Amino acid sequence: DGGITQSPKYLFRKEGQNVTLSCEQNLNHDAMYWYRQDPGQGLRLIYYSQIVNDFQKGDIAEGYSVSREKKESFPLTVTSAQKNPTAFYLCASSRLAGVKSFSDTQYFGPGTRLTVL
Amino acid sequence: GQSLEQPPEVTAVEGAIVQINCTYQTSGFYGLSWYQQHDGGAPTFLSYNALDGLEETGRFSSFLSRSDSYGYLLLQELQMKDSASYFCAVKGGGSQGNLIFGKGTKLSVKP
């Protein structure tokens, strides 16, 4: 089955630690995205990537880092610089990238719920 | 800047019809999408409107008026399983393919 997987589903972190959230897709999609969702809020874009070895900051990139070494993988690292990292993190992908993706649906993974202790 | 406004909550009874409105402000418009998210789950795509008018997909319809920067999602024959949050979203401007989401409307369907 094609889709997007995220791991782990739940993650607990001590203050001061960096943690990496995994996101893998086998849909052969060009573009991948990381969103953060806080309770009762919409999704806010952290980073996105339209092609391997390239990525762009979203609206709330501070305290986060990403890499895109393979088309199917887009891991997100939450660093100790992120002041309030407790949130639900969602990874998504879409078929076309950039201006061509006018109507492309974004497909979301199941999410990782990060809690800082 | 870009922003979207939706009502935070809507309540309706089973079998009824409900309309969830969305007004947006964007620089460059590439279409309005709707996503559904059940509690604790991932958003799933419902519909997309690039042109004015109504798009129907089963019990769900979505409407767009570009001149009014306004759209709505219409849910008919409501079922308990429709209880979820509904987000409208627009594409980011320029070369970005990312989506800008509204804060969501929490729909509660009562028996």
Residue A16 confidence class, pLDDT cut points 50, 70, 90 = confident
Answer with the residue of higher pLDDT: B60 or B97: B60
Strand runs labelled E in A29-86:
31-37, 43-51, 54-57, 64-66, 76-78
CA distance B16 to B80: 11
The answer to whether A103 faces chain B, any CB pair under 8 Å, is yes
Per CB-CB distance under 8 Å, the chain B contacts of A110 are 41-42
Helices (H) and strands (E) in chain B, counts: 0, 11
Of A36, A97, A21, the residue nearest A66 (C-alpha): A21
* Structure confidence at residue B30 (pLDDT): 79
**Length reported for chain A:** 117
Q: Which of residues 55-74 of B touch A (CB under 8 A)?
A: none
* Structure confidence at residue B2 (pLDDT): 77
A42 to B103: CB separation less than 8 angstroms, yes or no: yes
Average pLDDT of the residues in A85-101: 82
Cis peptide before A8 (omega within 30 of 0): yes
Average pLDDT of the residues in B76-95: 87
Per CB-CB distance under 8 Å, the chain A contacts of B103 are 40-42
In this complex, which of A31, A33, A42 lies closest to B87 when CB atoms are compared? A42
Q: Indicate whether A1 pLDDT > 80.
A: no
pLDDT digits (tens, 9 = 90+) for B38-85: 998 999 999 999 899 999 989 999 999 999 999 999 999 999 999 999
Q: Indicate whether A98 pLDDT > 80.
A: no
Residue A101 confidence class, pLDDT cut points 50, 70, 90 = low
* Structure confidence at residue B92 (pLDDT): 65
* Structure confidence at residue B99 (pLDDT): 83
Given a contact cutoff of 8 angstroms between Cβ atoms, the answer to whether A108 and A91 are in contact is yes
Arithmetic mean of pLDDT over chain A? 90
The answer to whether A95 faces chain B, any CB pair under 8 Å, is no
The answer to whether A102 faces chain B, any CB pair under 8 Å, is yes
Distance (Å) from the alpha carbon of A99 to chain B's nearest alpha carbon: 5
Hunting for tokens 């972190």 — which residue is that?
A: A13
Q: Indicate whether B108 pLDDT > 80.
A: yes
Per CB-CB distance under 8 Å, the chain B contacts of A104 are 97
Given a contact cutoff of 8 angstroms between Cβ atoms, the answer to whether A114 and A57 are in contact is no
Per CB-CB distance under 8 Å, the chain B contacts of A56 are 96
A90 to B42: CB separation less than 8 angstroms, yes or no: yes
pLDDT digits (tens, 9 = 90+) for B18-40: 999 999 998 777 789 999 999 98
Hunting for tokens 């590439």 — which residue is that?
A: B30
Q: Position B27: which residue type?
A: S
Cα-Cα end-to-end distance for chain A: 36
Helices (H) and strands (E) in chain A, counts: 0, 11
pLDDT digits (tens, 9 = 90+) for A42-72: 899 999 998 999 999 998 999 999 999 999 9
Per CB-CB distance under 8 Å, the chain A contacts of B91 are 101-102
> CB atoms < 10 A from the CB of A8, how many?
12
